[in-house]
Amino acid sequence: MRKLFAILVLLLIGFAAWIGFAFLVPAGPSQQTFVDFKTGSSVRTIASGLKNAGIIRSRPAFLLLHLLKSRSLKAGEYAFDHPDSLNDVYNRIARGDTYARVLVVPEGYNIFDIAAAVEHAGIDSQQNFLEQARAQVALVRDLDPQAPTLEGYLFPDTYRVPRKDRAADVVAAMVRKFHQQAHAIGLNSDLHKIVTMASIVEKETAVPDERPVVAGVFYNRLTQRMALDTDPSVIYAALLANRYRGTIYASDLQFSSPYNTYRHAGLPPGPICNPGKDALAAAMHPAQTEYLYFVSDNQGHHRFSRTLEEHQRNVAEYRRATSGMAQ
């Protein structure tokens, strides 16, 4: 009996040592290693994948830990670049802390801005993104049959982009997000006009309270058959022609483009950027005013006016303020 007891003690000590070694001592690679678990992968498959990739020391230890914790393990691709404890590895997969590139698209970014952000994030080249933004217009045919590109329908947001995704996948995710947001705010009619107007509003002001008023100004100008005379459309025309030089020149104001709202009355042929939800809501529900003009007050807001004379006084005051700052 004493001999059997001694064997049991040794076995318990050995098991405890194995538990401590397998559970507590960090294991894993010293360089970035990716492990991809498909949807529906079993716990045994996940444990085997981790062991084969050198992320954990023991497959049985992982299965035992899962038996104790009984958490749902998430599919996806995981990146491991340093040794970790078995518990930390398990918790990462239970959280679904998958690997992804982060793509931040602020409100008002146009397709050229997004293309640069996509390349900077290491997802794909600018050229490939622009090609996809022009080629995949079928994604919005149900919303806007006349859309020349996906400009306006690439919803601004922060996106987590899996390692294997490219420009085509990013474009599809952004359009899918637009569909969701459009449905959420009840945007279901006259989308081409609304999104185009929202894109102008987005570029003209970043002040939430001003957006409905700015939208109202442009709708008033359309009603009176006045040119919109909006600088962001001139910039966009120059970007499309690959002639934008960082500021607006007199030649840009005279440049013949349907997007140049100084030379062509009415809305441009399509959106000039990708508006956020607030700008879309402002274009859907503009403020009812008699304003026809606005100019910056040099403090981040705008001054609105009903008549050209009042507008000219506001412009003169703005110029005096800016010249004083320059001095």
Q: Answer yes or no: CATH 3.30.1490.480 is held by domain 22-95.
A: yes
pLDDT in tens, 150-203: 999 999 999 999 999 999 999 999 999 999 999 999 998 889 999 999 999 999
| 160 Rama class: left (phi>0) / alpha (psi -120 to 50) / beta | beta
pLDDT in tens, 295-309: 988 888 999 999 999
pLDDT in tens, 78-108: 999 999 999 999 999 999 999 999 999 999 9
Q: Would you say 219 and 191 are in contact if contact means Cβ atoms under 8 Å apart?
A: no
With vertex at residue 211, the alpha carbon angle to CA 205 and CA 213, rounded to the nearest 5 degrees, is: 115
- Output the pLDDT for position 188: 83
10 Å Cβ neighbour count for 177? 17
Q: Where are the domains of the chain?
A: 22-95, 101-184, 191-326
